[in-house]
Structure 1
Amino acid sequence: MTSSSSASPSKLTAPYGSWKSPISADLVSGASKLLAGTAVDALGRLIFLESRPSQSGRMVLVRASPENQDPVDITPEDCSVRTVAMGSESGGAFTVLGDTVIFSNYQDQRLYKKSMTSADSCPVPVTPDYGGPVVCYADGVFDQRFNRYVTVREDFRESSLNSTTTIVAVGLDGYIREPEVLVAGNDFYAFPRMDPKGKRMAWIEWSHPNMPWDEAQLWVGYIADNGEVHKRVCVAGDDPRIMESPTEPKWSSKGELFFITDRHNGFWNLYRWAESNNEVISAYSLDAEFSRPLWNFGMNSYEFIQSNEGKNLIACSYRKSGRSYLGILDDVEGSLSLLSIPFTDINNITLGFSCLYVEGASEVHPLSVAKVILDDHKSKAVDFKILWSSSPDCLKYESYFSLPKFIEFPTEVPGKTAFAFFYPPSNSDYQATIDEKPPLLLGSHGGPTFESRGILNLSIQYWTSRGWAFVDVNYGGSTGYGREYRERLLGKWGIVDVNDCCSCARYLVDSGMVDGERLCATGESAGGYTTLAALAFRDTFKAGASLYGIADLRMLKAEETHKFESRYIDNLVGTEKEYFDRSPINFVDKFSCPIILFQGLEDMSVPPKQARTIYHALKEKGLPVALVEYEGEGHGFRKAENIKFTLEQQMVFFARLVGHFKAADEITPIKIDNFV
């Protein structure tokens, strides 16, 4: 898998890392489209929101064609459908009812209403103009009883950092006026959901210093005849003996409230609310995750479907041991029937007309949306068709794909293991020289409360098809493995994640799978912090790349970042001394290897001065270092040219400084300080 004992006459022999590959940086940047939600219109047609790197990351609402014709753009060229509420980078920016869509426009953050029956109809604003994007909205639903739109609002009019978050009602009668506040008083809200008759509303709320996956509450409010919430009941999260994080409330057509929480076994499972005695009843119990952390609005992990027998069935997905499964839950019988589909990774589910639309991916499928048709008994998938793909032409490069291997490796804590996806080098045209082992690039995911997934990611294939090994680590603190695993990071960020990444690299070296002298690390956001911390406090890696990573933890305190994350790391770090001791910028004397940094200048989560500070410190110390800053980019790069440049410059940086080979691509390297 990592070395060649005998030459194949059909392959060229060349050192790892120097192979030529058709999976170019242009291909990767063009395939870096994001999907930010799906819905269905009055005729059952799929509506989806996609990003377009070629248009500077503009988010476009699109309607799929059922006749294999080209999809149709719903929103005009001067709109980008995107909300910045709660620091969200995507999700919850639009809602569809029949032929009407309401969406958030990125430039001014106002809500607009548009008819989808005519592509030429202009969006009409439904919220006031405050002279700039100082009020934003997300995660809305239609309330037909009062002809209004109920949504989460974040208001920055009094403070750019300490905003006020509420649930409000926006009138849809054609008159623009100040939205009516329905629920207020807590720090954060999400998932306002109306029951079928518009008489009850469920929502999730939480308060500092918790994040929604730490502790949250599920509430139900009763709607009076004047439209106000006049009575409230806490359904879950108010018992001090139970630490739980309810999420994704949803009303069935019968008016029953379902939701997901982790109250019993530490995994996000499905539950039902018995309103008569305010009791929470398990719908199905499994040591698996039926939801994921609420980083973005708009998650939709389950849907109610109606069977021919009149049963109330639930289409749902869950994750276990690094893999997703799609199933149909019979709540009455307590049985779950799995559906066989090609996706091994599932994000969201949307109910169509006699079908499901599933957002997912697999080892050979990039991020896609598929139409899944079920049999009459709703127990089997009888048809599967991909309607949208982030990279529809990539399968022609399948002979170059590296398939991920799910690995479990020992950590520094006796008896504790962690998880990762390992991608060996793979190229149908090349083989390595005899007994050579490949260089390794280790990726640490962001969040840090997030998860790496073993799916077709062309940015990873860019490396492996050139002869690199790549490993994507789910260190302690990652999601997908239950609350206990997630809480390994509490008070130990910068310790557990760093140790696990270093342990993973050593495990691969000891297993003979990679070259121990050519270990590199890369990470985005919190993964960039883990990378920098590993380079400062350990000697495992020979070089690293930080993409909008954190250098000074103190800069992420309340006065330096947006409200949603302003108390996030309180639980992950601890005392002032620990903030200092775990910040790489305070220990530049401990850095001993080359580093390249990439930073967006409009980043609200990680201030650009963090990258500049560590760049100047390492430059002064005399270490090889480079800094790339991008105008118009925030927390995550959306422009195709910047995605391409970042990938290529990492490749040539590592090749020049630790690879001991020449990269096959013709890339003009940027200037590296302290390196000739």
Structure 2
Amino acid sequence: MTKAEKPYGTWPSPITAEDVAAIPGAPQWPSVVGEQTWWCAPDPATATVGLMWRGADGVVCPVLGPGWPVGNKAIGYGGRPYLATPEFAVFSRSSDQRLYLIADMPAAEPSSAGAALEPAPLTPADPEGVTRTNYSDPILGPSGTEIWAIREVTELTEELTDPAPRTKRDVVAIPLSGAAADDPTALRVVARSHHFLSTIRLSPDGTRLAWLGWDHPAMPWETTDLMVASIVDGVAVAQARVLGGDEGGVGTQVAVAQAEWADADSLYALADPDGWWNLFRVDLAGDETAAINVFPTESEFGHPIWRVGSTSFAVTDAGVVLRRSLGDETLIRWDPETGQTTDLAPGWTEFANSVSGPGAGAGTAIVAVAASPTEPSTPLRIDVAGGRLTRCVERAEYPHEAWVSRPERRHVQVEGGWQVPYIYYPPTNPEYQGPSDVPPPLLIDVHGGPTSGTVTTRYLNFALFTSRGYAVATVDYGGSTGYGRAYRDRLRHTWGITDVEDSVAVARALAAAGLADPARTGIRGGSAGGWATLAALAHSDYFACGTVYFPISDPATWYDEQTHDFESRYIHYLVGDPEKDTARFARVSPLAHAAEITAPFIMLQGLDDVICRPDQADRLVKAVEAVNPGLVRAYHRFPGEGHGFRKDETMTVCLQAELDLYASVLGA
């Protein structure tokens, strides 16, 4: 079919903001439970997450009925919220953060009883207004009568105060009998070590416990400790660091991203003493602990810990399964006997930090959430020994597939010889094409984190724009994960500089290649991406407009009591010491340079956001409007929304506001 010619940015498209907002988010937290596969599924219509089960017969159904949303608020971003076994399941209910027990699950099709299930509470309710408690990363204790989980308790105050001294974390034992539901003294502390804890793992013989810990001001991709302790009378004793740590200098920091037991006397761990998250084996059998890099390579197997219990590898009886990243990802099996590797999922290019398996001595099946340029995120169950791959959810046919842009990986070289990777989504529409002598308008998308990374996935949010004739490029600026510690540390004390310069470099490279119009280039992002968007508008004259989701605008007030515990000292890495490095803070602050913002933008903010509080957006909007009235084209503040929007009606408003902005500023 001959395409009609129409200016870029004006193409009619059947993809609407409402359609995109209604698409569920990616599955989360998959688990192998014998022949069953479990995972969590977000529902934008209810802004909740449900627990799903796929049986051996392929039937997929919810485990619980309405009113039982799953999730927790561990470290602000959540953690693994459930444990499922063939006999029972334990989960964290997002509405009250208590743990609940599902006993005597039916052998098949749990939804037949799901609506009637009445889970029993295992943990006590918080005294109203006194404390807020959550439980994450639950495992079965060695006795089989307890659940062990990471407990986070925050003392509540009416005044805004530093959350760090008010927050405590430990590993606790929770009786499956339900005794602790009304009696908090029935909980037993198993282990205490660091301010932050993640990834608790019991050895196969039940005699040792391993976990990760770190303390302020470090973030877990800077330095973590892999701890091991003996279990005596249900308590961890003789705690010792066996890998990781910080000797006090930048060059001596080691971050352990995950650890799993290989057998009763050794662990596999992802650590980066050589600058890359590689696979180490930690031998505990001798008098001295030995850690050996068993798979040295200049690529990443690990991940930044933003959620408690996140995983990038799994141990099986058929080898170790690893998520390998350097650009497009692969899921591989590594044979510890031969060192040989096997690609387990050819054609799939992205794997979430949720690779899950049965553990040493418990089978050969794993499950991972995977995606590709043509496939949406879905749980994949893989028999590692036989190589059989099963989609846990059938791919729903999308009626407008021809309008969905296919991503292309590219890179541009910047100062210092660094290669900045990015992904380009070309304008795509089966009915229209742009004029041959005019390049398309471009949207630079800046990811959050800032330690996140780009993914080559079938992304309908971008299709909303590319189907109308916009190009989109999402940038792995310095600080992104997947390219080693040195690339990540490019952002140390250069936040608001490196991320902006890399974004501009990508935009210029696409313009030079004739793939983007330099006069019609916008920028968009949320959280750290919202910061970079504001910084780009304040410190660069390259962008014609911007979309800002829940940003940081004033780094001098984004620490301690001005944000949540997890990131309350992060600014020391990103910018510097707020008291000593005031000149650097003033230089990069978008709020301090609000008068220099001359391009129109829209601001989108949740009023319940405790990570990037609404005052960060409020003050920036007020400062810009004071010197450039009308420059803020829209400011939407959403009650009931936090950091990362959940409701489909919220996202509909946001996406439509973006379309309106780009049509008015970047349109032909």
For 1:52, the aligned partner's letter is D
Q: Provide the C-alpha distance between the structure 2 equivalents of 1:340 and 1:589, rounded to a whole number of angstroms.
A: 51
2:199, 2:310 within 8 Å by CA — same for their partners in 1? Answer: no
Structure 2 distance, partners of 1:332, 1:239, is 32
Q: Secondary structure at the match of 1:95?
A: strand
**Distance in 2, Cα, partners of 1:580 & 1:75:** 51
Unmatched segments (≥5 aa) in structure 2: 107-112
| Matching residue of 1:393 | 397
5+ long unaligned stretches in structure 1: 1-8, 308-312, 661-676
Which segment is superposed worse, 651-660 or 105-114? 651-660
For 2:446 and 2:520, locate their aligned partners in 1 and report how far apart those are by CA, in whole Å.
17
Normalised by the size of structure 1, how large is the TM-score?
Answer: 0.90
1: distance between equivalents of 2:499 and 2:156?
37
- Alpha-carbon spacing, 1:414–1:85, altered in 2? closer, same or farther (3 Å): closer
Whole-angstrom CA distance in 1 between matches of 2:70 and 2:467: 35
Structure 1 match to 2:266: 256
The amino acid across from 2:496 in the alignment is: G
2:152 corresponding residue in structure 1: 154
Q: Could you tell me which residue of structure 2 aligns to residue 407 of structure 1?
A: 410
Deviation at 1:158, TM superposition (A): 5.8
Match for residue 345 of structure 1?
A: 350
Native 8 Å contact 1:37 1:298 kept in 2 = no
TM superposition shift of 1:340? 4.5
CA distance in 1, matches of 2:518, 2:44: 36
Q: What code does the residue aligned with 2:84 have?
A: V
In the alignment, which residue of structure 2 is the partner of 1:596? 602
Aligned to 1:18, which of 4, 10, 16? 10
Give distance in 1, aligned partners of 2:418 and 2:289.
39
Structure 1 window deviating more from structure 2 (198-207 vs 350-359): it is: 350-359
Alpha-carbon offset, residue 81 of structure 1: 0.7
For the residues of structure 2 that align with 1:195 and 1:324, how far apart are their CA atoms? 30
Distance 1:66 1:98 in 2: 13
Is 1:657 matched up with 2:648? no
* Corresponding residue SS for 2:189: strand
Shift of 1:67: 3.3
Q: Is the 1:612–1:627 Cα contact (8 Å) retained in structure 2?
A: no
CA distance in 2, matches of 1:579, 1:182: 42
SS of equivalent to 2:503: helix
Determine the structure 2 residue equivalent to 1:634. Answer: 642
What does residue 337 of structure 2 align with?
A: 332
**Counterpart of 1:531 in 2: which secondary structure?**
helix
* 3-state SS in 1 of match to 2:97: coil
User: Counterpart in 1 of 2:279?
Assistant: 270
Q: Is the contact between residue 37 and residue 381 of structure 2 (CA under 8 Å) also seen in structure 1?
A: no
Deviates more, 1:270-279 or 1:145-154: 145-154
Letter in 1 for 2:314: E
- Partner secondary structure for residue 457 of structure 2: coil
* 1:291 aligned onto 2:302: yes
Matches within 5 A, 1:19-38: 19-38=11-30
**Kept after mapping to 2: 8 A contact 1:196/1:255:** no
Counterpart-to-counterpart distance in 1, 2:382 and 2:85:
22
Pair 1:228-2:232 in alignment: no
- Say whether residues 1:305 and 2:316 are aligned partners: yes
Paired with 2:337 and 2:591, the residues of 1 have a C-alpha distance of 56
After superposition, give the CA deviation of every residue in 1:535-594 in whole Å (9 maximum; x if it has no partner). Answer: 001101010010001111123111111110000121110123322321111111101110
Matched residue, 1:123: 119
Amino acid at match of 2:170: T
Q: How does 1:167-182 map to 2 (within 5 A)?
A: 167-176=171-180, 177-178=183-184, 179-182=187-190
Tell me the alpha carbon deviations over residues 171-214 of structure 1, each in whole angstroms, 9 at most, x when there is no partner.
22331133222222421111111111221000000011100010
Task: Tell me how far apart the structure 1 counterparts of residues 332 and 604 of structure 2 sit (CA, whole Å).
Answer: 41
Summarize deviations over 1:623-665 as a string: whole Å, max 9, x none. 42120011111100111111122111101112113323xxxxx
Helix, strand or coil: the match of 2:12? Answer: coil
Does 1:61 find its partner at 2:66? no
Deviation at 1:242, TM superposition (A): 3.6
Q: Which of 314, 317, 321 pairs up with 2:323?
A: 317
TM-aligned CA distance change 1:40 to 1:209, over 3 Å: same
Quote the RMSD (CA, aligned, Å).
1.9
What CA distance in whole angstroms lies between the structure 1 residues aligned with 2:492 and 2:568?
Answer: 16
Which of 66, 71, 75 is the aligned partner of 1:77? 66
1:208 to 216, 222, 225: 216
Aligned to 1:6: none
* Cα distance in structure 2, aligned partners of 1:23 and 1:606: 31
Identity %: 30
Moved more, 416-425 or 116-125: 116-125
Instruction: State the shift of 1:373 in Å.
Output: 3.8
Deviation at 1:367, TM superposition (A): 1.0
Q: Normalising to structure 2: TM-score of the pair?
A: 0.91
Map of 1:368 onto structure 2: 378
Matched residue count: 632
For the residue of structure 2 that corresponds to 1:580, the secondary structure is helix
- Post-superposition offset of 1:237: 1.8
* Equivalent-residue separation in structure 1 for 2:464 and 2:322 (angstroms): 33
SS at match of 1:634: coil
